[in-house]
Structure 1
Amino acid sequence: MFQTSPANRPRLGLRTFGLISLLSCALFALDAAAQTGPGGPPQGPVSVGTITVQTVDVPYVRTLPGRAVAYETGEIRARVSGVVEEILYAAGDKLKPGDPMFKIEDTTYVAAFASAKAALAGAEVARDTAQATVDRYKTLQGSAVSKADLQTAQATAAAAVASYAAAQAAVDVAQLDLDRTIVRSPISGIAGIPSVSVGALVTANQADALATVTRLDPIYIDVSDSSAGMLRVRAQIDDGSLKLGTKVGVALVLEDGTTYDGQGTVVVLGNVVSATTGTFDLRVQFDNPKRLILPGQFLRVKLTLGSTSAKLVPQRATGRTSDGTLTVFVAKDGVAKKVALTSSGTQDNAWIVTGGLEDGDLVIVDGLTNLRDGAEIKPVPVTIDADGVVHDAPTPDAASPDTAKPEAGKPAATGNN
């Protein structure tokens, strides 16, 4: 029978002891993990940043879509027929009323004016001759001239006066036609690109315009508002929740989202509601010295009607439920509670909240990641700047390095929005 040598027995015992030690360590680690649980060691209250909300007077603003419309637009047309001899302006020129724009061939009109003047001179001679005859017949009446001859001379003189008046009118018409060979701007504005070139034949009062002149300063913005929105505003005025201001503030938001530098005025309030869209129109006016606003642009107009009492809640602190309800977490008794809000719009980076919060409530604005309703929290006062960035609230004595930070749960003095 094969027997193990004495030299091999201790070596086999050491290997067995090592395996037993490794197995014991593994079992101890599994037992510790089972006792601790999958979430690790128990967690304490989570620190969250809070601000204190208070009721304030918030401007009541309605943001409405609008479209820019030129203050004046003149379509330039020829009043006489002829060939365009010269274009007397350059596209983009700033014109005044009466500035020349086109010159139409005037040879025919010069000749017509000369002919009319000649006819007027002949009519003037005939009128004077007829009147002289009447004067002579009056002195000879009863001797060499009968009463019938005098009446005939008077009738001839009257006809000569009428002929003279007609000749004078013909001269005036000929002068107008001659003047109209120079086509002038009827308004102040910016000249557009001519639609005809030199040598083109144009006709009097043709349908196609030779060019356009557009006045851009000031400029109109036509705005549409719903009749339902108008009724809501009137209801808020009636119940006192909306206090009207002394005048309507009018601001303009450009297509790139920037606010136009300047305040507008309301020109016309619409008094008819569209049967197809349910909206009514109003027109506002803005100064436009830099021609930044051009006709046809789609813009947004902000009408500040007055003020309403509400609370401002930063948008970063809010969320939406599946049905679209606006919600926020509020710190109460060391616990986070989710609250449903009602709002009437936005101001800067905050919601205008009209229901769901009370004065002095601590709204959680920071530390919202994975925050659940009913979670234990430790409120820390913070502030939010105009860009929506959260900062620690200043201590009562910021100059003293030994001053303690505000206690959890106490509202920060600068935390109100």
Structure 2
Amino acid sequence: MKAGVWKIVGAIVALAGSVATSTAQPIPGGPAGPIKVGVVEMTLQEVPRVVTSPGRAVAFQEVEVRPRVGGVIQEILYSPDQLLEVGDPLFRIDDSAYVAAEASARADLAKAEANLPVTQAASDRAEQLSGRGFTEAEVEAARADLAEAKATLDASQAALDYAQTELSWTTIKSPISGRADVSSVSVGDLVTAGQSDELTTIIQSDPIYVDMVEASARILSVRKGISDGALQQNDTLEATLTLEDGEVFRGNGQLVTPSNSVSTTTGTVTIRFKFDNPDHVVIPGMFVRGEVVIGTTQAFLVPQLAATRTNTGKLSAYVVGDDGTAQQIEFDDDGVYENAWIVRDGVSAGDQLIVDGLSSIRAGQEVTPVAAEIDENGVSRDADETGVPRDANAPAAEN
């Protein structure tokens, strides 16, 4: 019985020794070889300088309609979906009192017109018989009566004009072309002259303004580039719009005017452009994204997928060094064009920029460069010997 136990213990000790011996052996394998990476060659080229800014649509004209005379609304003469022209009627106010006032003013004018010839004749007679039956005082009185009659006639004419004007104001008309909101009053409501509440609002949105905001620091950078000769400014500035749903708005906007001051709260400057909007696609108040081509500059285009932003604000990327290893470089950007950073310093012509295989790259790593291309979506693809792009992540074809 004891002999069997000792045999089992001996077997366990022998097994433990063999395990210890096997774990102590070195793991086979050596240092990894060069890593295949996709690269693009950096070339200096003429790049459009495009500034992208948020913006908001603003009505070309906007009018709050208020009554100029008081009274009861008798009729609403428009519909909210109607395109109005200047002078189109909107509301009609009860004009009974104003018709009576106009008739009274007209009667006063007729009376003044009838009285003028009488006083004129009396004045003429007094002038002719001065000193022969008419004293100097009587002549002066006749002159005064004539002047008063003329003044009464002028006042009566002015009163009639004003009465007719007030009568015309009982029909409220559109002062601009555009579309009116739903009426804020109903038939039978009493309104007063110059009240604070508007009857409706008319908005003209063709053409339409778009106010874009731009950081004052970027404006200074653009001005410096122009003064240094690094940026060739376009003769005219035009803008394109991207709407909230991602659709590009048809047509370009013309620069109206930049703001003359910087916002003290946001540090931005408002720049206004005017767009034709015949289909009223852009609605006042709508938020949009605007792009403005300021000019062109000589620069390198570094694909955005190849660079990362460092803690210092610079961009970092890898290039293939002369010794066949990956070398890390840092540089500043001068804006964005499509899917690439615009870079003027820190990159040299002929540099092989690594755009694919970056997840396993470290500085000093041996690499094997493979020509790659960046498609319109900013995706890296290798180019085989025939020049036909293929997916950079796909395995290479076997020989």
Q: TM-score range by the shorter chain?
A: 0.7 to 0.9
Cα distance in structure 1, aligned partners of 2:312 and 2:147 = 93
Is 1:361 the equivalent of 2:351? yes
Cα distance in structure 2, aligned partners of 1:351 and 1:58 = 11
CA deviations over 1:233-269 (Å, ceiling 9, x no partner) = 2322232222222222323333344433222222122
Matches within 5 A, 1:24-103: 34-37=25-28, 43-103=32-92
**Which of residues 347, 369, 373 is equivalent to 1:379?**
369
Cα distance in structure 2, aligned partners of 1:308 and 1:142 = 94
**Which of residues 195, 212, 233 is equivalent to 1:206?**
195
Quickly say closer, same or farther: Cα 1:197–1:123, change in 2 above 3 A. Answer: same
Is 1:146 the equivalent of 2:134? yes
Is 1:156 the equivalent of 2:145? yes
Cα distance in structure 2, aligned partners of 1:129 and 1:315 = 96
Structure 1 unmatched runs, 5+: 1-18, 399-417
Is 1:344 the equivalent of 2:304? no
Task: State TM-score, norm by structure 2.
Answer: 0.83
**Which of residues 224, 243, 265 is equivalent to 1:235?**
224
Residue 52 of structure 1 deviates from its aligned partner by 0.9
Please name the residue that 1:126 is paired with: 115
Matches within 5 A, 1:187-266: 187-266=176-255
Of stretches 334-343 and 150-159 in structure 1, the one that deviates more from structure 2 is: 150-159
- Alignment partner of 1:369: what SS? helix
Is 1:305 the equivalent of 2:287? no
Matches within 5 A, 1:254-293: 254-293=243-282
Residue identity in the other structure for 2:332? T
CA deviations over 1:69-128 (Å, ceiling 9, x no partner) = 211111101000001111111113211111110100001111111111111111111112
CA deviations over 1:147-175 (Å, ceiling 9, x no partner) = 55555444323322211111111111110
Residue 196 of structure 1 deviates from its aligned partner by 1.1
Please name the residue that 2:99 is paired with: 110
Residue identity in the other structure for 2:316? T
- Alignment partner of 1:343: what SS? coil
Structure 2 unmatched runs, 5+: 1-10, 389-399
Is the radius of gyration larger for structure 1 or structure 2?
1
Cα distance in structure 1, aligned partners of 2:206 and 2:214 = 25
Quickly say closer, same or farther: Cα 1:228–1:350, change in 2 above 3 A. Answer: closer
Please name the residue that 1:409 is paired with: none
**Contact 2:215 2:267 survives alignment (8 Å):** yes
Cα distance in structure 1, aligned partners of 2:58 and 2:266 = 20
Residue identity in the other structure for 1:326? L
CA deviations over 1:20-68 (Å, ceiling 9, x no partner) = xxx8xx98x958x94553xx57654322221111011212233333332
Cα distance in structure 2, aligned partners of 1:276 and 1:47 = 50
Identity of aligned residues (%): 44
Cα distance in structure 1, aligned partners of 2:328 and 2:195 = 71
Cα distance in structure 2, aligned partners of 1:301 and 1:87 = 40
Cα distance in structure 2, aligned partners of 1:143 and 1:96 = 67
Residue 132 of structure 1 deviates from its aligned partner by 3.7
Cα distance in structure 1, aligned partners of 2:251 and 2:63 = 26
Cα distance in structure 2, aligned partners of 1:258 and 1:285 = 18
**Contact 2:51 2:292 survives alignment (8 Å):** yes
Quickly say closer, same or farther: Cα 1:57–1:151, change in 2 above 3 A. Answer: same
**Contact 2:102 2:164 survives alignment (8 Å):** yes
**Contact 2:130 2:139 survives alignment (8 Å):** no
- Alignment partner of 1:236: what SS? helix
Please name the residue that 1:13 is paired with: none
Cα distance in structure 2, aligned partners of 1:250 and 1:122 = 66
- Alignment partner of 1:67: what SS? strand
CA deviations over 1:122-155 (Å, ceiling 9, x no partner) = 11111122224445x2697379853555554443
Cα distance in structure 2, aligned partners of 1:161 and 1:245 = 66
Please name the residue that 1:404 is paired with: none
Of stretches 291-300 and 343-352 in structure 1, the one that deviates more from structure 2 is: 291-300
Please name the residue that 1:5 is paired with: none
Quickly say closer, same or farther: Cα 1:387–1:277, change in 2 above 3 A. Answer: closer
CA RMSD of aligned residues (A): 3.5
**Contact 2:89 2:172 survives alignment (8 Å):** yes
Cα distance in structure 2, aligned partners of 1:167 and 1:220 = 47
Residue identity in the other structure for 2:36? S
**Which of residues 318, 325, 329 is equivalent to 1:335?**
325
Is 1:389 the equivalent of 2:396? no
**Contact 2:126 2:134 survives alignment (8 Å):** no
